[in-house]
């Protein structure tokens, strides 16, 4: 993984936009704690078909006003070129310089995909509209997108996003380091040389994680699933095992040349703080 080692490591965290005033206050506290770790940026997710668009915008601009770098997710499925252009203009006016560009999921009960079918079209449109103003991150899937025809097609889709102008990629979460290393190798064989940063999901709630994983196609290895199941409802035991497993995964990835880590925080500070400390990441 020499080409990945050449990139300056980037450590970042992801939030989801809160739905309630109580959630807003909780996220402020989480953000203030994680800001002490000095991550490169905080990304903020975006709901299907723009269902959280306003909340994403409010969360991103608040983070930015506090002096931290924020990167909104922009999902293009079900959107028009005009609506995306307006969103880009608004973020540019706010001083945002980084975007996570995604295809997104179709809103339930909707068949109109909008004017963009794939994320590479969104990346190309952002470049057409804004030039090099934004640093663009895209998603990739070491264990392959659940809707991809096959592994080769998924890798080809990823390469198209990079060719369209993406600067870097963040992976779906995974717990098998070999899947990441193999994916990077296959991507590089297609000429992809941008940083491919592993997305890391701390293990906080096993039942919730199992639901997420079934929905998005991320694999929980059989040995890990069995050990977590054996913990039953013992949250302390689940989180202790999860921390050990995820910390070991991160060490192997970073030792193997991964260009940083992107933590899916689930709007919780503690698990990320513990991993950051154990991994002795820079602050």
Res 216: pLDDT = 84
Instruction: Give me 185's structure tokens.
Output: 């190798």
d(CA 200, CA 260): 10
The 3 state secondary structure assigned to 67-84 is: CCCEEEEEECCCECHHHH
Which residues of the chain fall short of a pLDDT of 50? 49
Burial class (CB in 10 A: 0-12, 13-18, 19+), 142: buried
Q: What secondary structure letter does DSSP report for 17?
A: -
In angstroms, the CA 201 to CA 182 distance is: 19
pLDDT at position 4 = 86
Among residues 14, 121, 137, 143, which one is catalytic?
A: 14
pLDDT number for residue 109: 53
Give me the sheet containing 42-44, strands edge to edge: 196-197, 168-171, 135-140, 98-102, 70-75, 42-44, 10-15, 260-264, 199-200
Task: Look up 69 and say whether it is catalytic.
Answer: no
- Give the pLDDT score at 108: 56
Q: Among candidates 127, 195, 191, 197, which has minimal Cα distance to 160?
A: 191
CA distance 21 to 5: 42
* Spatial contact of 208 and 228, defined as CB atoms under 8 Å apart: no
Q: Is 232 left (phi over 0), alpha (psi -120 to 50) or beta?
A: left
The pLDDT of residue 125 is 97
In this prediction, residue 62 carries a pLDDT of 96
At CA 12, angle to CA 29 and CA 190, rounded to 5? Answer: 155
What whole-number distance in Å separates Cα of residue 79 and Cα of residue 251?
39
Does residue 74 contact residue 123 with C-beta atoms inside 8 Å? no
Q: Report pLDDT for 282.
A: 94
The pLDDT, as a whole number, for residue 149 is 74
CA distance 8 to 211: 34
Q: Which pLDDT value is given to residue 146?
A: 67
């Amino acid at each position: 993984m020499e080409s990945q080692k050449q990139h300056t490591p980037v450590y970042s965290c992801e939030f989801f936009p809160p739905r309630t005033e109580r959630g807003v206050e909780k996220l402020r506290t989480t953000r203030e704690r994680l800001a002490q770790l000095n991550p490169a940026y905080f990304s903020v997710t975006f709901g299907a078909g723009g269902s959280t668009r306003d909340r994403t915008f409010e969360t991103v601009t608040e983070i930015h006003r506090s002096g931290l770098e924020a990167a909104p997710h922009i999902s293009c499925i079900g959107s028009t070129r005009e609506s995306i252009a307006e969103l880009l203009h608004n973020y540019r006016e706010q001083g945002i310089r980084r975007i996570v560009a995604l295809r997104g999921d179709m809103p339930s009960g909707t068949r109109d995909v909008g004017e963009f079918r794939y994320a590479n079209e969104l990346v190309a449109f952002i470049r057409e509209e804004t030039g090099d103003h934004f640093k663009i991150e895209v998603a990739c899937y070491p264990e392959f997108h659940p809707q991809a025809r096959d592994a080769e097609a998924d890798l080809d889709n990823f390469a198209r996003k990079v060719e369209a102008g993406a600067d870097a990629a963040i992976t779906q979460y995974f717990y098998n380091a070999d899947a990441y290393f193999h994916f990077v190798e296959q991507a590089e064989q297609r000429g992809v040389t941008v940083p491919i940063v592993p997305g890391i999901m701390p293990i906080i709630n096993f039942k919730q994680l199992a639901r997420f994983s079934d929905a998005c196609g991320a694999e929980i290895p059989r040995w890990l699933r069995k050990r977590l199941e054996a913990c039953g409802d013992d949250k302390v035991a689940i989180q202790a095992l999860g921390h050990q497993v995820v910390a070991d995964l991160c060490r192997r990835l970073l030792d193997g040349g991964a260009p940083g880590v992107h933590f899916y925080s689930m709007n919780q500070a503690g698990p990320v703080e513990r991993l950051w400390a154990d991994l002795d990441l820079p602050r």
